[in-house]
Structure 1
Amino acid sequence: MQTTFAQLERLEPPNWWADMNLTSVQLLCYGENISDYEVSSKDITIVNVERTENPNYLFVNVNFEGLSAGEYSFKFKKKGSKSFTKAFALKERDANSKERESFNSSDLVYLIMPDRFANGDTSNDSMPSVTEKVNRAEQGGRHGGDLQGVINQLDYLEDLGVTALWSTPLLEDNDAKYSYHTYAQSDVYKIDPRYGTNEDYKRLATEMEQRDMKLIMDYVTNHWGAEHWLIKDLPEQSWIHQFEDNKGKDFPLDGYANSNYRMTTQYDPNASAIDIRYCEDGWFTSTMPDLNQSNPKTLTYLIQNAIWWIEYSGLDGFRVDTYSYNDKEGIANWTKAITDEYPNFNIVGEVWLHNQAQIAYWQKDSKIGALQNFNSHCPSVMDFTLHDAIGVMFKEDNASWNDGMIKAYDNFVNDFLYQDIDNLMVFAENHDTGRINEIYNGSLDHYKLAMTLVATTRGTPQIYYGSEIGMRGDKGKGDGAIRQDFPGGWATDANNAFTKDGRTEEQEAYHSFSKTLFNFRKETPALHTGELLHYLPENNVYVYFRSLEDQTVMVVLNNNPEEQTLDLSRFTEGIKNATTGKELFSQNTLNLDDPLTVKGKSPLVISLN
């Protein structure tokens, strides 16, 4: 009689590192009836082994404390069956890995949708291991952008003044349609093969490090895709949030209920339990099962996976998708575990709210959160209220009590609500919003005003790929219409906007302004951490200063269609003893004893002498 034994199909994490703060690791072992086996190791301390309702899983809790880097092994044994071993590597950490520096307010973050940025390797456009094939003609289809395309354009980004890159997710998404956005992940230890390999991702990080640039991973804690291998064979029913009323429906809708998207229920002292539950536990969409971070195994899996990617790739930060939809205490514990391992590691949470107090609640050490004994431990949040203002105020030519540049002023009035005002991400647009050049109908003047504000106010500026060459979109036609291909990213493109010679006249006008502004910011510490002093707008003109030690930058945003002349004596507190200043875009030297004339709908950025 032939003896059969379970084949160990997966072991996750696939390796770990010596000298980590996190030495107690939970190994997920997956294979048919693997729970029938006993696990042992000659060298690794096995604390205990946990079995679940699904016999295809074993959770082996180990401790690597005191072990040096090297090859180890586990033995799987079952009475009456052939035993087998599985090798496991403890690797050497990179030097100073724990103390790695992260992105901060000295950086300019460039956001890309990798499928739409540049196709550097056409051989991986369609791959046999994933379902959806390349179809560039389809707005919501795969277009072929990949990691090699990003690597090929790092010189372009560096020349533009970019210092950090945030890419939307790159992990495998095996949905049959709309897999290009990669937020419905099917394997979180594997780069999607249409983008490249894990080694390619690590190579991107290395190439960026050599340029003193930083790589930010878009990490998704709230949900996975319905095609995730683990979702399709749940280790525990409580691994994801499920609703009994929907039990018995076809997968993936079995147990599904949609989120009510009301994130305010997370801190509303008057909220009903059912409303809170449908926010936290409801699925983001029917194809994205909602992960239950209250389940200790689920949370541990997410913590270890995040740390694995940081250590493996040499990452410089996370942007966390739908941060405030997670189980509140669970996501706080996830965040703390990562920052305990890497004290300088920055994490920016997507908290898409429209009130500063509500956004500030989610920032680390928030005094507002402390009122409910809550600390998210998340160092950075996104300034969505500024984004809201930028999308309307430059259309408001006739200033009133509430319209025009007062919207910018009023946004910064509430900075006292934030625990760390420098660690806010400021932006005019991203991959989920309308493009700024569409909102303002392709107006270069409006783009200049918006980008000058984003690049010179407090916080960490984030810009969206293609806007620096005037790319527009139409949110009303779907997300694909704001996630267009960057011209020149494909060999068959009519023009190559990655090069000066390849840009149209209009594209070059956008690009030359952007490059001048972004590189000035890169070289000006006062715009990184300088104190912000601002003045009430008059005649739709907003004036503010950024000062650090002996460096001061004066910014004037004239949102009035008409030319305005300013009496600078009003701004003595900001100007101090300076008598002249050099204006960035004209390179003119200005006498600060004279009135200052500003053209309609235009910015000035003045370095004071």
Structure 2
Amino acid sequence: MYYTMNKIIYLPFQNGSFLKKITLFLFFMSVTLHAQIDKVEPPFWYAGMQNPELQILFYGKDISQYQVTVSNGIKITNVKRTENPNYIFVSIDTKKVAASDFVFTFKNNNNNKETFTHKYSLKKRRENSAQRKSFDSSDMMYLLMPDRFANGNRNNDSENSIKEKYNRELPGGRHGGDIEGIIKNLDYIASLGATTIWTTPLNEDNDATYSYHTYGQSDVYKIDPRFGTNDDYVRLAAEMHKKDMKLVMDYVTNHWGIEHWMMKDLPTKEWINHFDTFTQTNHKRTVIHDINASEIDKKITIDGWFVSTMPDLNLKNPLTLKYLIQNAIWWIEYADLDGFRVDTYNYSDPKGIAKWTKSITDEYPNFNIVGEVWMQSQAQMAYWQKDSKIAEIQNYNSYLPSVMDFTLYEATSKVFNEDDGSWDKGMVKLYDNFTNDFLYPNINNMLIFVENHDTNRFNQTYENDIRKYKMAMTLMATVRGIPQLYYGSEIGMAGDKNKGDADIRKDFPGGWEGDKNNAFVKEGRTSGQNDYFNFTSKLFNWRKTKAAVHFGKMTHYIPENNIYVYFRYNTNETIMVLMNNSTESKTVNTNRFKENIKDFKTGKDVISELTFDVTNKITIEPKSVLILELK
């Protein structure tokens, strides 16, 4: 028999027939002729890991026919074979093994004379690797899509082994942005006050169309050659660390792409989730914690495919789960990463994704992981943060340190166009969002944003009204959590999601040779772009030094006349933020805020650098903000 596309095909023979004898002879000859290793994953590992058991996947034709031994006295703890003879999973104990090379020997069960070997390496970890510092609320995260940011190396625009070729004329095509383009523009990103970069996935995506976003990965141990090489990715992290910047990988636990190499020859049918016919997820993740939900709804939510080209990974299968855990840890060690953003976090099996997360944070106690949990209420999002009291009711813990604040995003997508500030409109939307902060176990470890690569562009929603942009960025820079800026917003880039995702993922001007507008440099930006850039840069560079904003407390006041006032403070400093969302100038009586103003007399505005008397009244212009450092 042979194995192909997850089906076992039997060759019928008549007992004692000449045909049977010839076919069996050819079968065993084929084993001898084709015995080889095509894939080893992880390709190497590291000595001194907290979890000493390493599961190594060996892939090659009929490799499960072989017995495996290993040199250097290393103990094999488990050998797992599946219904697919082309895979064998070998687990070894690395607890007492120093960084070194050793050899696996494969001996054919059917032909004792046939053997072959494979050298494997345990490498030395970086100093203090396990205690690496991750991103937190003292950081500002810059989100970019590598294919649309900057083309630093024209030589990798297309690649023979990859189906989709360079076509910048096609809005949804490959435009040639790459890792080299990011490296060449790190100073630009840093000049914005950004300390952390989150790139959308960089692993290989060999889909024939629309592969630029790289969420349908075809090899999770390999950087897509159109972005560069694995070494280039390591170099990106190293160059960022020289500038005291942090690199966050976008990791996908829920699905791969249909062109992933394993989809051609699955290790086991249980590697992915199956239905009798194609079944797409219903996207109703509320069923996971809904005590009234039906089992079929839960199954379709968790096991249904995201789209037909993205097979759903089965995290209930121990082999799949272990593979994903090790892949994530391998990238942390290999590329010296500083954090993960996890795509579609709560689409995966809840127990499986919790084990994945805990395995990583057990290995790296300070490592931050932020999950995409796109829910419609604070209670639903808080359920997914580590040590949630809400989830504890159902004996569940995701172990996920951070979640993305989608309810705040929803509020900011509407609030700045609501001029009247009535009962539930305008600034009240922001106030109400923060009144539910008590639900989160770690409110400061939230990723906050007004847009990302999946949403309408903020400047599109608000028709490039820079006053509203300044209000939104001020909010991001001064409330609790980790602010995230989407590339291009800082120069006024807009995009309409109704026209398709490509419109919200346009090329950054100046990232390609011949671009007439080079927004990476002051001289290349238009006056309007510089207005956006200068405000953003001044605001977030100021934030970098403000511990009261990073880790301080917050007191806010019920908005009146569509004016929202709140304070961020610690024992050393107090910052007063006034946000006027009305269309008229307003005068605010400061007596109401005496509990926070206390004995302070003046406040210096961070942006204008003007000084205001805070003992009586403050006048604030329409659709504007004041960020006052109290003295």
> Which range, TM-score by smaller chain?
over 0.9
Structure 2: gaps spanning 5 or more residues? 1-24
Q: Cα offset for 1:399?
A: 1.1
- Match among 86, 94, 99 for residue 69 of structure 1: 99
Report the TM-score when normalising by structure 2: 0.94
Give 1:110's aligned residue.
Answer: 142
1:159 matches 2:159: no
1:47 matches 2:77: yes
Structure 1: gaps spanning 5 or more residues? 247-255
Q: Distance in 2 between matches of 1:439 and 1:306?
A: 36
Q: Cα offset for 1:4?
A: 2.4
- Match among 439, 443, 464 for residue 461 of structure 2: 439
Moved more, 70-79 or 11-20: 70-79
Give the total of aligned pairs.
Answer: 599
1:576 matches 2:598: yes
Q: Distance in 2 between matches of 1:604 and 1:576?
A: 19
- Match among 296, 318, 324 for residue 302 of structure 1: 324
1:403 matches 2:435: no
Q: Distance in 2 between matches of 1:159 and 1:42?
A: 52
Q: 1:36 corresponds to which letter in structure 2?
A: Q
Q: 1:65 corresponds to which letter in structure 2?
A: K
- Match among 608, 613, 623 for residue 591 of structure 1: 613
Give 2:9's aligned residue.
Answer: none
What SS does the corresponding residue of 1:445 show, helix, strand or coil?
helix
What SS does the corresponding residue of 2:121 show, helix, strand or coil?
strand
Q: Distance in 2 between matches of 1:220 and 1:404?
A: 36
In the TM superposition, 1:554-565 aligns within 5 A as 554-565=576-587
Q: Cα offset for 1:283?
A: 0.4
Q: Cα offset for 1:592?
A: 1.4
Q: Cα offset for 1:23?
A: 1.2
Q: 1:45 corresponds to which letter in structure 2?
A: K
In the TM superposition, 1:541-552 aligns within 5 A as 541-552=563-574
Q: Distance in 2 between matches of 1:547 and 1:478?
A: 42
1:409-467 deviation per Cα after TM superposition (whole angstroms, max 9, x unaligned): 00000000000010011100000000100000111011011111011100001110000
- Match among 65, 69, 79 for residue 36 of structure 1: 65
What SS does the corresponding residue of 1:4 show, helix, strand or coil?
helix
Give 1:420's aligned residue.
Answer: 442
Counterpart contact for 2:368–2:401, Cα < 8 Å? yes
1:184 matches 2:206: no
Q: Cα offset for 1:5?
A: 4.6
Report the TM-score when normalising by structure 1: 0.97
Counterpart contact for 1:174–1:185, Cα < 8 Å? yes
1:199 matches 2:231: yes
- Match among 278, 282, 288 for residue 304 of structure 2: 282
Q: 2:236 corresponds to which letter in structure 1?
A: L
What SS does the corresponding residue of 2:587 show, helix, strand or coil?
strand
Runs of 4+ in 1 over 6 A off after TM superposition: none
In the TM superposition, 1:108-507 aligns within 5 A as 108-244=140-276, 246=277, 256-507=278-529
1:237-282 deviation per Cα after TM superposition (whole angstroms, max 9, x unaligned): 11100002x1xxxxxxxxx210000010110000000100110000
Counterpart contact for 1:5–1:82, Cα < 8 Å? no
Q: Cα offset for 1:580?
A: 1.1
Q: Distance in 2 between matches of 1:5 and 1:488?
A: 51
Q: Distance in 2 between matches of 1:292 and 1:139?
A: 33
Q: 2:338 corresponds to which letter in structure 1?
A: D
Q: Distance in 1 between matches of 2:547 and 2:525?
A: 31
Q: Cα offset for 1:573?
A: 1.2
1:600 matches 2:622: yes
Counterpart contact for 1:405–1:540, Cα < 8 Å? yes
**Cα RMSD (Å):** 0.9
Q: Distance in 2 between matches of 1:386 and 1:350?
A: 14
Give 1:532's aligned residue.
Answer: 554
Q: Cα offset for 1:48?
A: 2.1
- Match among 17, 31, 55 for residue 46 of structure 2: 17
Q: Distance in 2 between matches of 1:145 and 1:109?
A: 20
What SS does the corresponding residue of 2:129 show, helix, strand or coil?
coil
Q: Cα offset for 1:289?
A: 0.3
What SS does the corresponding residue of 1:553 show, helix, strand or coil?
strand
Q: Cα offset for 1:70?
A: 1.0
Q: Distance in 2 between matches of 1:488 and 1:522?
A: 27
Q: Distance in 1 between matches of 2:382 and 2:615?
A: 40
Give 1:252's aligned residue.
Answer: none
Larger Rg, first or second structure (1 or 2): 2
Q: Distance in 2 between matches of 1:537 and 1:5?
A: 74
Counterpart contact for 2:510–2:518, Cα < 8 Å? yes
Q: Distance in 1 between matches of 2:615 and 2:284?
A: 53
Counterpart contact for 1:5–1:83, Cα < 8 Å? no
Q: 1:12 corresponds to which letter in structure 2?
A: E
Percent identity over the alignment is: 58
Q: Distance in 2 between matches of 1:579 and 1:34?
A: 78
Counterpart contact for 1:4–1:82, Cα < 8 Å? no
